[in-house]
Structure 1
Amino acid sequence: MTEQTTEEFFHDFRQEMLAEADSTFQLEAFMEIVSGELIETGFIEGFEHCPFKAPRGMRVDGYWFNDEGAVDIFIADFDCRRDLQTLTKTEMDAAFRRGVNFFEASLKGALEPDVTTPEYGLVRQLMDRRPLLQQVNFFLVSERVLSDRIQALPDNEVSGIRATYHIWDIARFQRQRSSRGHKEALDIDFMKVFGHGIKCLPANLGSDSYQSYLIVMPATVLAKLYQEYSARLLEQNVRTFLQARAQVNKGIRATIMNEPRMFFAYNNGITATAQGVETVLTDGGLEIRRLTDLQIVNGGQTTASLFHTQRKDKADLSDIFVQMKLSVIDSEQSEMVVPRISEYANTQNRVNAADFFSNHPFHVRMAEFSRRIWAPALQGTQRETKWFYERARGQYIDAQSKLSQAEQKRFKAEYPKTQMFTKTDLAKFENVFDDHPRWVNLGSQKNFARYAARIGKEWDKSADSFNEFYYKRAIARGILFRATEKLVSAQPWYNGGYRANIVAYTLSMLGKIAADRKLSVDYQRIWNAQAVDETLSGALAVIAKAVSDDITQPPAGISNISEWCKKEGCWGRLSERSSHIADLLDDAFWSGLISADNNREEAKTARQTQKIDNGIEAQRRVFDTPAAHWSKILREAGLRKLLTPKDIGILKIAEQIPAKVPTERQSAVLVQLLDRAQQEGILLD
C-alpha cells in the first residue's frame, strides 16, 4: 500500500468531519473527532465541548478537569478550510494567547457570561477550583500543518499555576492514526528529565524472547513521572480500572506519612513494561538512561498515591523507594503479552481480564459478528455493508495496511468508516439504556469501566446472552445514538453546548418511558432500515427539548451543568418528569413501539441459537487440535493432579479422534481443558 500523503489525509479527514457535521456545527464535529482521538490514545481523559470567543482576544473550545488537580483547555484552529495550509508560529502564539487570556480572566472573575451558556459553567468551575488547581494544559488542535520552524514549547506559569502547551496539527493526527495501535509511545529520557539514570540489575533468566530488569525506583522519580504523564503512564486498561475507584489507598498513604523508610518492605512493588530500553554500564553499575513506551501495568494505585500524598499532604518522598520489575516487550508481542502481565500481576487491586482486555471472549465474539454479519442496504441503495467492531485500537487501519488501492476501496465499501465503532462506543450505546446515563456523562473511560464490570459478571452468568440478537440490538442502539447526536445539533433551541449530556439523558428517557408501559423500542426495525424513521426522530426531538430544559436548570448551589449531569440527583429529578414527557408524545410514536415480552422472547430464542453455535464451535476447535496435544494434556496435567476422573475419561476419547467423536458437552469440557493447559504452562507446540 502506498503511504498516504499529509494532503491526502487532510482531505479524508475533512470528508469524515463533514459526514458527521450539520452545516451549522462543523466546529463541534471537528472537536468531537479530535477529542475522541486524544481520549482513545490516552493523552486526555475526557472532553466537554464549550465554544466561546470574545472580542478581547479570548477563546476556548473545550475543557476537562481531571482527578490530578489539572484542567485541560482546548483551543481550535479551525475554519473548515478546503485545502491544507500551514500554521505559522505567529498564528500559534496568538491562538495560545487567546486561551491563556480566557483562563486568566476566569480566575480573576473578570468574565460574566450568560448563565445558560457552557462557558458560564466553565468560568464558575475555574473560580471554585482555583485553590486546588496545580496545572493547566493548553491544547491547540488544528486542521492545518504546523510550520517546521516550531520546535519545543516550553512550560511556564499562568497566574501562578504550572502551564504546559501541546499542539495537535493534521500531520500529528496522521502519524497517530497510521502508527500501529494508534498510540504515540512515551519516550522518557531520564538524563534529560532527572539529570541521572536509574540503577538496575538485568534479570533475563536466559530468555532470548525479552529483556527484564529489577529496579529500586526512587519515589520522587515515580511521582514526577506520574505528574508529567499520568494518563499515558498507566496501561490503558489498568487506568480505566483505577478511575472507577478511590485515587489514594489509605494504607499506602499511612506508610508514606508515618513510616517512609519501611515503604520498600511493606509495598508489593510495581510491574512495568516498555518497548525499548537504553542502558549504560557505569562505575556504579548498569543504568537505564532511556525508556520507550513505559507502561505501569500493576502498581498504578501505588504510583498515584505517591503523587497525591506528596501534593496534598506535602509528604517528603526522598526516603521512599519502590521495587519495580521491568519487562521489555516488543510491539509485535505487546497486544497479547502486556494484558496477561497486567492480569496475572495485579493482586493489590485485582484487575479482571474478563472485564477489560480486548482478547476476552466477549470482545472476540462481537468482532466475529461484525466481520460476518451483513447489515441490510440503506433505502435507495443496493449495496449491503458491515459494521466494524474495533476490539483493539487501530484494527480498522491495520486491516487496510497491506491492501492495494483497489482492495482498500472494496474494504471501505464493505466497512464504511462511519460504521466503525470501538469498545468505548459500544459502552456508550449500551449504558444509556441498560445501566445509567450518569456513567456516560462521566467520560468514555469511566463509562467503559462500569460497562466492563457489568459485562464481565453477565458473561460469567450467561455467555449465550451475547449473541446475534445482542449484536444487532447494539448496532441499532448505535444508530439511534448517532442519529440523536445529529438531531440535537440541528434543533433551533440548541446553542452549541451540552450535547453529550442531552443525548445520553434523551436516550435514557426514551428507554424509561417505553419500559414504564412495558414496551420497547423496535430495534429490529432500526436494524432493518439502518436508520431511524421520522416518527421516532420526532419523538426524540420532543424528549431532547424536555431534557435540555431540565438539565440546564441545576439546583441552587450547582453552577456547572456538566457537573450536575454527573450526579445521581440529575437522573432522579428527570425521572420524576417521565410521565409528563410521555404525555407530550403522539399516538404514532406509541404504535411504533413493541411489547417488551416480544423482545424477551427474541432474546430467549437467540440464546438457544448461540448455545448451539457454541457447541458447534467447540467441536470444530476440538477436531482442529492434534490428537498428540490431548495425549500431552492427559499425561502432564495428570502428573500435576489437575484432572478429575471425568476429565481423564473425556481426554481418552479425544485421543481417539476421529475413531471416536466427543459430544458437544464433552467438546466444551475439552476446550476448557485446552485453555487451562495453556494457563498452566503446558506447551503444546
Structure 2
Amino acid sequence: MEQPISEFFHDFRQELMAGAEAHGAFQLSEFMEAFAAELMETGFIEGFELCHYRAQRGMRVDGYWFNDEGELDLFVADFDSREALQSLTQTDVIAVFKRVENFFEASLTKRLFDDLDETTPEFGLSREISDRKSLLRRVNFFVVSERALSDRMQNIEAGKICDIEATYQIWDMSRLQRQRSSRGHKEPLDIDFKAEFGSGLSSLSAHLGSGAHKSYLVVMPGDMLATLYAKHGARLLEQNVRSFLQARGKVNKGIRTTILNEPGMFFAYNNGITATAQEVEVELGDKAPEIVRIKDLQIVNGGQTTASLFHTKRRDKATLDRVFVQMKLSVISPEDSEIVVPRISEYANTQNRVNAADFFSNHPFHVRMEGFSRRIWAPAQSGAQRETKWFYERARGQYADAQAKLTPSEQKRFKAEYPKPQMFTKTDLAKFENVWDDHPKWVNLGAQKNFSSYAGRIGKAWSKNPDSFNELYYRRAIARAIIFRWTEKMVSGEPWYNGGYRANTVAYAIATVNELCKRAGKSVDFQKCWQSQAVYPELAEGLRKAAKFVNDDITQPPQGISNISEWCKKDSCWDRIQGKLDELEFEIDQAFFTSLISSDAQKNEQKQAKKVQRIDDGIDAQRKVLKVPGQAWSKIRQVGVEREILTEKEVGIIRVAEQIPHKIPSEKQSEILIAVLDKAREEGIF
C-alpha cells in the first residue's frame, strides 16, 4: 500500500532538516541536492552544480549543469520551507519557469554577468552561457518544488528561447514519491511512434509459445534513433551502457566513417543494438506487423552506435536517410527486469566489455561491501553509549525498502542501528575514494563520470586481487566518508566561505592533504578516524588550512576562464595547486605531520587484512558448497564429463563433494567447486 503523499512530504521534510544539520548546509541547498541526487541516479541529468541567485528583476536560478552534447540544464526551486503540503498550480509553475527563463535570456543576450560579482557562482554561470552561445543546442528547464502539482496542470510544451530549443520539466513531491517508490527503476519512457514519427516500426516476432519472453527483430531508421537520443539522452540507455559511454567517449570513428561515406552499408556493417521494454504495442501494417508504442525502451547494448549517430548528424550535418539499424527488442516485465536486464546487458556486451560496464549492484565488490556494512559495528562516538552501523545502499532504494514493512517501533530501532546520516550509495563511495586514490577533478566532473572512473579502476583491481577489498578496506572507506562529510560541514562554517564552490573546495582540499602525506612518505591515520568515528584534531586543522588555501587558489582562475566550476574540471587546475604546495606545507603545524602513520605500517596492515580475507573467502566458499547436496554434485560430474567441460582435477574434487556430509571438501577445494558451480549454471546443469 502506497504511503499517502502528506506522510511522504512530512518524512521528506524531516529528512531534509536532518540532512541540512548533518552537512552544515542551508535547507534550500539540501533540498536541491536531494532532488539532484535522484535525477542523477536515474539518468535524467548527468551532474549538478549549486548556484543560488535571486534578483528583483524577476530572475532566479538554483543550479545548473553543462553536458558535452551542447545542452544546459537550469534548475529553479519552488521552496519556502513550508510546514504542510500545498498545491502547485499552473499559474505558480509558469511564474517560476519565467524567472529562470529571464536569467537565461539576460545571460545569453544582455551580458547579465557585467552586473554580477566576479567571485560568485552566478557570475561564472552567466558568463559561461554567454560564451557558449554558439554551441548551445538545447536548454532544459527544471522546476523543483516542495509542493504537489495540481491535477489540472497541463504539460508545458517544448519551445524556443533566442532560437535555442527549450524543454520544461516539473519535479514536485508526487513525482519524487513515484520515483522513490519505483524500487530501482527510473520513471519509464513511453514512446508513441505514430504520434512522434508518423509511423510504426516494421518488426518480426521472435518468440514462440506463451511461456517465452516476447522478442522482436526490428529495423529502425537511423534518423529516428538519433532523434530519440537527442530528445531523451541518457534516459534511453540502461545504466550499464551509460557507464560504458562515460568510460569510452561518445563517437566511434568507424561508425562515423560509414555514416559519411557508405550510409547504405550501415545495416550490413554494424552489429545493431539490443534493447528491452516493459510493454510493446503492435499493429498489423501494410507489409508486416508494426510496433507503434514502446514503454520503457532501454538500450542495453549499442549505446555507442546510438550516440555516434546523434553526434555525426549534429556535428557533421550528416543525413541519415539511408542509414538503418537492426534492433533486437525483448519485452521484460518490471518484476523480472532487475535480474534479467543486467544479464542481457552483460551477455550482449561480451565483445566489447569494459570494467565499468558491468560494475553495478550485482558485482561481487558491491555485494561484499554490503555484507560488511550489515555486519560490522562502528565504535560508539565520543559521549554516545551505543554502537551503530553504516548502511551501504548497493541497489537504489534499499534503505527505504528495509524499513517498508517494519512497525513504527521497529523503524525506530532500525534508524538507531543505521542512522540516516550513515547511509551511503555507490556514487557516494566513488566520491569518497576518488579524491584520495585517483584525481580530484573526477568529483567535479559529475556523479556519472566520477563513478565511471571509480568503476574502471576498482573493476581492474578486483580482477587482479579481490582479497584487497577486505574489512580494512571497508573501515578505511568509512573513515574517508567521515572525513569528506566533516570537510563539507567545516567549509560551510568558515568565515571566508561565501556560499559558492563548496564541492570543488572539498574535493581539492582533501586531495591536497593526501598529496602532502605522500610527499612525506606517510598516510592519514584512517584507523584513528574509524575508532573515534570523527576527524581527529591534527587532521581537522590540516584540512581547515588546506580548504582555505584551495579556495583562495581556485577562485582566481587563469585569464580567459570565467566559470570557476568549469576550471575545477581541468587537469591544469590540480597541476597549479600542486605547484604551490610548498606554501601550504609551510603554514601547516608540525603536529599534523607527527599524527600521520608511516607507509610501511600501512602496508603491513593491508598485508595482514588480505590474509584474513583469504581465510574468510575459503570459509564462505566451504559454506556455499556444503549447501549443495551430494546427489547434485553427482549430476554435475556426470553431465560435465559427457559435455567435456570439466578438468581431471575438477572431477576428482567433485567426487569428494559427492560424499557430503560424510566427507567435507577443504577450503581450497571449495573455492574450485564454486567455479564448477558457475560452469554448471552456464550450461544449465545446476
After TM superposition, is the score higher than 0.5? yes
Change (3 A) 1:80 1:653: same
Query: Aligned equivalents of 1:192 and 1:222: distance in 2?
Result: 15
CA deviation after TM superposition for structure 1 residue 209, in Å:
4.2
Quote the offset at 1:559 in angstroms.
Answer: 1.9
Range with bigger deviation, 327-336 or 135-144: 327-336
| 1:177-196 correspondence to structure 2 within 5 Å | 177-181=180-184, 183-196=186-199
SS in 2 for 1:157: strand
Out of 291, 294, 298, the residue aligned to residue 297 of structure 2 is 294
> CA separation of 1:313/1:348 partners in 2, compared to 1, >3 Å: closer, same or farther?
farther
Contact map agreement 1:278 1:290 (CA 8 A) in 2? yes
The yes-or-no answer on 1:683 pairing with 2:673 is no
By how many angstroms is 1:583 displaced?
2.1
For the 8 Å contact 1:343–1:353, the answer to whether it is kept is no
1:626-683 per-residue CA deviation (whole Å, 9 max, x = no partner) reads 222222222222222222221121112111222322221111111111112212x223
Alpha-carbon distance in 2 for matches of 1:148, 1:355: 40
Matches within 5 A, 1:223-622: 223-346=226-349, 349-352=352-355, 355-622=358-625
Cα deviation for residue 353 of structure 1 reads: 7.1
2-structure distance, mates of 1:493, 1:55:
26
- Cα distance, 1:372 vs. partner? 0.9
Aligned AA (2:462): W
CA RMSD for the aligned pairs?
A: 1.7
- With over 3 angstroms needed to count, the CA separation of the structure-2 counterparts of 1:209 and 1:474, relative to structure 1, is farther
Question: Quick check: 584-593 or 235-244, which moved more?
Answer: 584-593
Structure 1 stretch displaced more, 186-195 or 42-51: 186-195
For the residues of structure 1 that align with 2:68 and 2:143, how far apart are their CA atoms? Answer: 22
For 1:512 and 1:68, the matched residues in 2 are separated by 34
Are 1:30 and 2:18 matched, yes or no? no
- Where 1:132 maps in the other structure, the secondary structure is coil
Give the letter for the 1:100 counterpart.
E
SS of 2:133 mapped into structure 1: helix
Taking the aligned partners of 1:441 and 1:415, their CA distance within structure 2 comes to 29
* Alignment correspondent of 2:676: 673
Q: TM-score, normalised by structure 1?
A: 0.96
Alignment of 1:167 with 2:167, yes or no, is no
Residue in 2 that maps onto 1:12: 11
Q: Provide the TM-score with structure 2 as the length reference.
A: 0.96
**2:275–2:300 Cα contact (<8 Å) kept:** yes
Corresponding residue for 2:41? 40
How many Å separate the matches in 2 of 1:380 and 1:7? Answer: 36
Q: Retained in 2: the 8 A contact 1:223–1:306?
A: yes
1:135 positional shift: 0.6
- The answer on whether the counterparts of 2:346 and 2:358 sit within 8 Å (CA) in structure 1 is no
How far is 1:217 from its partner? 0.9
Change (3 A) 1:184 1:310: same
Answering whether residue 94 of structure 2 is matched by residue 93 of structure 1, we say: yes
Deviation track 1:95-137 (CA, whole Å, cap 9, x = no partner) reads 1111111111111143112221112221222122111111100
| Secondary structure at the counterpart of residue 127 of structure 1 | helix
Kindly provide the amino acid, as one letter, of the partner of residue 38 in structure 1: L
**Which position in structure 1 is the counterpart of 2:53?**
52
Q: Distance in 1 between matches of 2:357 and 2:178?
A: 32
Partner AA of 2:493 in structure 1: A
Q: CA deviation at 1:243?
A: 1.4
In structure 2, runs of 5+ residues without a counterpart are: none
What is the SS of the residue equivalent to 2:82?
A: coil
State the match for 2:74 in structure 1.
Answer: 73
Moved more, 136-145 or 286-295: 286-295
Q: Secondary structure at the match of 2:203?
A: strand
Q: C-alpha separation between the residues in 2 aligned to 1:321 and 1:403?
A: 52
- Match of 1:180, SS state, is coil
Deviation at 1:250, TM superposition (A): 1.0
Amino acid at match of 1:149: R
Aligned length in residues: 682
How far the C-alpha of 1:247 sits from its partner, in A, is: 1.0
Structure 1 residue 576: deviation in Å?
1.8
Q: Which segment drifts farther, 514-523 or 472-481?
A: 514-523
Is the partner of 1:620 in helix, strand or coil? helix
Partner AA of 1:107 in structure 2: L
Deviation at residue 283 of structure 1 after TM alignment? 4.2
2: CA distance, partners of 1:92 / 1:627: 66
How far the C-alpha of 1:344 sits from its partner, in A, is 1.3
Inter-partner Cα distance in structure 1 for 2:444 and 2:515: 18
- Once structures 1 and 2 are overlaid, which stretch shifts more, 443-452 or 107-116? 107-116
Report the Cα offset of residue 182 of structure 1.
5.2
- 2:62 aligns to what SS in structure 1? strand
Q: Is 1:62–1:74's contact at 8 Å kept on the other side of the alignment? A: yes
| More displaced stretch, 348-357 vs 551-560 | 348-357
Contact 1:342 1:351 in 2 (8 A): no
Instruction: Tell me if structure 2 keeps the 8 A contact 1:636–1:682.
Output: no
Partner of 1:21: 20
Matches of 1:81 and 1:439 in 2, distance apart? 36
Q: How does 1:623-638 map to 2 (within 5 A)?
A: 623-638=626-641
Q: Which stretch has the larger CA shift, 441-450 or 239-248? A: 239-248
- Bigger Cα displacement from structure 2, 112-121 vs 594-603: 594-603
- Distance (Å, rounded) in 2 between the aligned partners of 1:27 and 1:600: 44
Q: Give % identity.
A: 63
Give the whole-Å Cα distance in 2 for the aligned partners of 1:75 and 1:353.
33
Contact 1:355/1:455 (8 A) holds in 2: no
> Which amino acid in structure 1 is aligned with residue 379 of structure 2?
P
Cα distance in structure 1, aligned partners of 2:596 and 2:81: 40
How far apart, in 2, do the equivalents of 1:568 and 1:268 lie? 36
Does 51-60 or 41-50 show the bigger shift? 51-60
Aligned to 2:569, the other structure's residue is in SS state coil
User: Whole-Å Cα distance in 2 between the matches of residues 83 and 377 of structure 1?
Assistant: 36
Structure 1 residues 77 and 292, CA, compared in 2 at 3 Å: closer, same or farther? same
Compute the displacement of 1:305 (Å).
Answer: 0.9
Q: Secondary structure of the residue that 2:680 maps to in structure 1?
A: helix
User: Could you list the runs of 5+ residues in structure 1 that have no partner in the other structure?
Assistant: none
Measure how far apart 1:545 and its partner are.
Answer: 0.6
| Aligned mates of 2:74, 2:419 — CA distance in 1 | 32
How far does residue 245 in structure 1 lie from its aligned partner after superposition? 2.1
How far residue 152 of structure 1 moved from its aligned partner, in angstroms, is: 1.1
User: Is contact 1:25-1:489 (8 Å) kept?
Assistant: no
